[in-house]
Amino acid sequence: MREIKLKALAKINLGLDVLRKREDGYHEVRMIMQTIHMYDQIMLTQTSEPGIKVQTNVDFLPVNEDNLVYKAAKLLMDEFRITDGVNIWLRKFIPTAAGMAGGSSDAAAVLVGVNRMFQLGLSKEDLMKRAVTIGADVPYCVMRGTALAEGIGEILTPLPAIPPCYILIVKPPVSVSTKFVYTNLKANELKVHPDIDGQIAAIREGNLEQMCRCMGNVLETVTIPAYPIIGRIRDEMIACGALNAMMSGSGPTVFGIFDDREKAEAAAGKLRGEGGTGQVFLTTAFHTS
């Protein structure tokens, strides 16, 4: 019996632009993705009994083929005709339905783990090619780090690590449907777009303040009117000294970037002290090297 333990890291979007709605119904995006030090824990156990079994610490998640970790394991085990089984223990810490790619990151970790456990010999690029069949964010979650994502999110260009900073995460007590956000986004009528190219240039120059000035997320045009608490948290982070703050992904998670730890901790304490704000975390960016 072999066991492998993995960390599935969350992500935020430093910039999120939607260029257009395509004829096939998908949205064409340009996003700056950033992995952060917040993670789910996954343990894979090889068994002689065939099949995939999933267990988790949260009762609202499916433990069958509707769970992305099950799909990830099945994808490789079917392709390579693996006759042994695998038990997957998923311990969730990343908030769910939060715009932080928790489910996608879990799936990515299982792809990495099954590849390692059964010695399949697949490279990171091999895994990323397969990952897109599970979800648009899964290839990025295999890659990790700082990256430009284009297409539907699957065309990835690695970027240099962002400068050191403190990232304050607040997940308000509301659930936001990604489908609701994209259905109500008037992508072809957007007048204001974040400066993704300017943000890339700032990252390459190591200019944290300029990187933050270029932050923007067009999905806020849908989510904040529907859930005003998102805008209130964003504005409060900025009032507390964040270089900038915005919603991650389709929400509802809000993050603020600070260049001063004391200011970040004070902001975290203030937001924790306010009733109804939700879950509050202070963390840092994950770098691949």
Asked if 214 contacts 195 with a C-beta cutoff of 8 angstroms, the reply is: yes
CA angle in degrees (0–180, nearest 5) for 201-187-101: 65
Active site members = 11, 137
β-pairing verdict for 146-151 and 51-56: unpaired
The whole-angstrom separation of Cα 188 and Cα 66 is 32
